[in-house]
């Protein structure tokens, strides 16, 4: 029998962590060797012989967690939000000193969401206007969502060199036009009963394309978590977006 992949979950008692502990524990090719909460020492990861961590914590702790993993030669699959350009640059520099170690920063593990973002970026250059509406449960601490930030970034790159979207607004209440993320308006809704949802609205005279994805529960994220854990050790360096592990052009 081949060796099981030793995996640890950080943020194990959270909404995502609870689902990940269950999914990883049920995977026949993996062994869950540690499930850490806020007060547990990261040294547990080394003691348990973890080969891959799955970070599902909070923006305030994820950078230190990943740094610890990389410095100990442990691969990291990261779902936690908060990875801005500065953090990614620092992580890239750290990984250059640990060239055998892989890190996946995945703004969204749901395969449908990854595809929706990819399709939106493909479509964006064919429309005059693009705006993003992301809708989440009201316990979410960050806004806009990591998925919306990533989607806006990819849309903006795809529209480089094109005219700005038409917008005659002269006066607006703060927030009425959303947040401008790389020039793309992003509107955040927090509503009881929701889980994780996003719409990208693309408009041109006489037509509209809406690309919408819905996660109805946390099971939606688990196939992506498992794919990340199985792949990260074969992809040294930094990968941003689960699309980096998919064959989307084929």
- In angstroms, what is the minimal distance from the CB of 73 to ligand NDP? 20
Q: Is 241 flagged in the annotation as binding?
A: no
Per-residue HEC secondary structure of the chain comes to: CCCCEEEEEECCCCHHHHHHHHHHHHCCCEEEEEEECCCCCCHHHHHCCCCEEEECCCHHHHHHHHHHHHHCCCEEEECCCCCCHHHHHHHHHHHHCCCCCEEEECCCCCHHHHHHHHHHHHHHHHCCEEEEEEEECCCCCCCCCHHHHHHHHHHHHHCCCCCCCCCCCCCCCCCCCCEEECCEEEEEEECCCCCEEEEEEEEECCEEEEEEEEECCHHHHHHHHHHHHHHHCCCCEEEECHHHHCCCCC
Binding ligand LZUJQKHR by CB under 6 A: which of 57, 65, 145, 188?
A: 145
* 136 part of the active site: yes
Q: Does 108 bind ligand NDP (CB under 6 A)?
A: yes
- Among positions 124-153, residues that touch ligand NDP (CB under 6 A) are 146
**CB-nearer residue toward ligand NDP: 38 or 190:** 38
Interface map 66-105 toward ligand NDP (x if CB under 6 A): -------------xxx------------------------
CA 213, distance to chain mean position in Å, is 14
The answer to whether 136 contacts ligand LZUJQKHR (rule: CB under 6 A) is yes
10 interface partner picked from ligand NDP, ligand LZUJQKHR, none, CB below 5 to 8 A per type: ligand NDP
Structure tokens, 91: 């992580």
Stretch of 123-131, 144-152, 162-170, 181-189 contacting ligand LZUJQKHR, by CB under 6 A:
144-152
125 catalytically annotated: no
Site residues (vs ligand NDP, CB under 6 A): 10-11, 13-17, 36-38, 56-59, 61, 79-81, 106-109, 146, 221
Binding residues for NAD(+): 11-16, 79-81, 106-109
Site residues (vs ligand LZUJQKHR, CB under 6 A): 81, 107-108, 136, 140, 145-147, 196
């Amino acid at each position: 029998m081949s060796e099981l992949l030793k995996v640890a979950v950080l943020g194990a008692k959270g909404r995502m962590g609870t689902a990940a502990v269950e999914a990883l524990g049920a995977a026949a090719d993996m062994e869950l060797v540690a499930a850490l909460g806020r007060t547990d020492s990261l040294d547990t990861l080394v003691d348990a012989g973890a080969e891959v961590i799955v970070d599902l914590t909070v923006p305030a702790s994820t950078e230190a967690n990943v740094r610890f993993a990389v410095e100990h030669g442990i691969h990291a699959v990261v779902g936690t939000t908060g990875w801005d350009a500065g953090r990614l640059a620092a992580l890239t520099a750290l990984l250059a000193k640990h060239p055998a170690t892989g890190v996946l920063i995945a703004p969204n593990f749901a395969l449908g969401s990854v595809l929706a973002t990819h399709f939106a970026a493909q479509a964006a250059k064919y429309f005059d206007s693009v705006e993003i509406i992301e809708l989440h449960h009201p316990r979410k601490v960050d806004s806009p969502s990591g998925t919306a930030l990533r989607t806006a970034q990819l849309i903006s790159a795809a529209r480089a060199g094109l005219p700005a979207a038409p917008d005659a607004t002269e006066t607006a209440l703060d927030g009425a036009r959303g947040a401008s993320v790389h020039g793309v308006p992003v509107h955040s809704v927090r509503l009881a009963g929701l889980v994780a949802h996003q719409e990208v609205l693309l408009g041109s005279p006489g037509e509209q394309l809406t690309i919408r994805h819905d996660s109805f529960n946390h099971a939606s994220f688990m196939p992506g978590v498992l794919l990340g854990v199985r792949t990260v050790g074969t992809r040294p360096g930094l990968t941003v977006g689960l699309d980096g592990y998919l064959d989307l052009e084929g």
